[in-house]
Amino acid sequence: MRWIGRGPSKVNPTFCSICIETIPVGGAEAELTMLFADVRGSTKLAEKMRPAEYGQLINRFYIAAVEVFTRTDALIDRLMGDAVIGLYISGLSGPDHARLAITAAQELLRAVGYGSSSSPWLPVGIGVHTGISFVGKVGDQKVEDLTVLGDAANITARLASQAGPGEILISDAACLAAQLDLSSLEYRNLELKGRSEPIQVWVQQVPRG
């Protein structure tokens, strides 16, 4: 397919580049599930390591995230600083986008060592939320980027920032969309920075194997 210009997409090699990269600037509101994963205590980590060592550690995290996002049909929205973002859009990931995102969160924690007999090699917290957001390309012909904008995206980012090491904070909306069994999960009512109303979340962790 590369001979006719239909190679793999940069945002997920299982998707066609024509379907993603050639989308014009602009977008639309869509229901999706977002996964934000954030390294906890990254400032202290960087302080104790040489810049090159820290760069190698974060790149290892990026590689693990890309592998998980690729397997679970996410659009890889961002690899920035100490965070990664995966977008599970119903039109690409299918109707089970919320369940896929939660599965990806579990797999990403396992990829950095949670659930094993040894300590994780990187402390990571994850937020997962389902909602309506603007999804599309922003910028102009010279500089453009695929992104997600809106309140739902802000909620997901805030959840990731409040997740402790090894925790997945899953919003009520994502739990409902995934039809998740909540019987064994911890419930929290969180006050999120910048929001007037609290949000209900459920806490999931990877059990030791």
| pLDDT tens sequence across 68-99 | 999 998 988 766 778 899 999 887 788 999 99
pLDDT of 12 higher than 70: no
Q: In this predicted model, which residue has the larger pLDDT, 92 or 105? A: 105
35 lies in some domain: yes
Q: In this predicted model, which residue has the larger pLDDT, 24 or 131? A: 131
| Helix ranges, the chain (H) | 17-20, 42-48, 51-71, 90-93, 97-111, 151-162, 172-178
Entry pTM? 0.85
Q: How far apart are alpha carbons 98 and 170 in whole angstroms?
A: 10
Structural domain of residue 127, as residue ranges?
A: 7-205
**Count of structural domains, the chain:** 1
List residues bridging with 130 in a β-sheet.
33
pLDDT of 27 higher than 70: yes
Q: How far apart are alpha carbons 92 and 101 in whole angstroms?
A: 13
2 lies in some domain: no
Residue written as tokens 């997920």?
12
Q: What is the pLDDT of residue 144?
A: 61
At 24, phi and psi to the nearest 5?
-70, 165
Q: How far apart are alpha carbons 115 and 29 in whole angstroms?
A: 37
40 lies in some domain: yes
151 lies in some domain: yes
121 lies in some domain: yes
